[in-house]
Amino acid sequence: MLISNEMNAAINQQIGREFCSSLQYVAIAAYFDAEHLTELAAHFFQQADEERIHAMRFVRYVLAAGGQVDIPTIPAVRGRFANTEEAVRAALEGEITVTREINALVDLSARENDHITHTALQWFVTEQLEEVSSMETLLSVVQRAGEGGLLHVEEYLARRRPQPPSTAVEAAG
């Protein structure tokens, strides 16, 4: 086994946290869907997919390192919010928490001189910078728009969504 029992257990806990984050994003997306804010809903459903991918990346790492995957119980997530700002703020707080958790894993890998895990964790460190920055930006846009201006937030997210490849070439052929 390339990782210690302690590192294996810590990563297993992180797998649970990543799955929990995914479910939290599903709950936030469902809140926005119920409010008929389709772009916010789509954004958070996409975030949920990304968090599940993160969990699976950890799973594959543990398996590759010869460890044992033991997914912990996933706690209930919050599904009710007073308004859009509260929901987005909850998402930002979640990302900040995950960043701290990833940093703790990096610290553990350094203490154990586990260079393989340390290197694997660098992807997550970089990813968390993007996740926190993106959520801070969205919160700022929501705050500027206010509850009465949520269609501006919807428009902002629609402009940022990746567009599928152009079908103009297909139509010409």
Q: What is the pLDDT of residues 21-66, one digit of tens each?
A: 999 999 999 999 999 999 999 999 999 999 999 999 999 999 999 9
Provide the domain limits for residue 26.
Answer: 5-162
CATH of the domain at 94: 1.20.1260.10
Stated pTM of the model: 0.90
Q: Does residue 111 form part of some domain? A: yes
Q: What gap in Å lies between CA 167 and CA 173, rounded to an integer?
A: 10
Q: Does residue 172 form part of some domain? A: no
Q: What gap in Å lies between CA 28 and CA 19, rounded to an integer?
A: 14
Q: Does residue 62 form part of some domain? A: yes
Q: Does residue 75 form part of some domain? A: yes
DSSP H helical ranges for the chain? 5-34, 38-64, 84-111, 115-145, 150-160, 168-172
Q: What gap in Å lies between CA 144 and CA 157, rounded to an integer?
A: 14
DSSP calls for 105-125: HHHHHHHTT-HHHHHHHHHHH
Q: What is the pLDDT of residues 131-149, one digit of tens each?
A: 999 999 999 999 999 999 9
Q: Does residue 170 form part of some domain? A: no
Q: Does residue 34 form part of some domain? A: yes
Whole-number pLDDT of residue 164: 66
The tokens of 141 are what? 């846009």
Q: Does residue 152 form part of some domain? A: yes
Q: What is the pLDDT of residues 93-121, one digit of tens each?
A: 999 999 999 999 999 999 999 999 999 99
| Number of domains into which the chain is organized | 1
Q: Does residue 171 form part of some domain? A: no
